Structure 1
């Protein structure tokens, strides 16, 4: 496809509302999904750390060594 000018490109032959609206909606939904996934990860990490503390300090020890880190960020 070739357009005579930038305005013709943005107009998309009269289908600009559908084309750019579809791109916009997809971008909003991807951003929302990313936010929800990060929030769920944060909540799950917090819940696991609370559970680990409830079990006691020695519950995470293996072979008498140091406690096993609960998350990757603690390693």
Structure 2
């Protein structure tokens, strides 16, 4: 009974889904990548779920980018 319940549940496909589906952050979740040795900083935040929109800012000694 437990095997049948697992096979029809959403968890049965979790390992397959994680390999092929892109990362889906929750609203307000942030990502930060700071590489001080390279002088690089990247910060992003999920600002809308439908439609999926992210705001980001990246800067280094050579450039500055925001979206």
Q: Same fold (TM over 0.5)?
A: no
Q: Which has the higher contact order (CA 8 A, sep 6+)?
A: 2
- TM bin, normalised by shorter chain, reads under 0.3
Q: Compute the TM-score of the two structures, normalised by the length of structure 2.
A: 0.28
The structure whose residues are more often strand, as a share, is 2
Which of structures 1 and 2 has the bigger CA Rg?
1
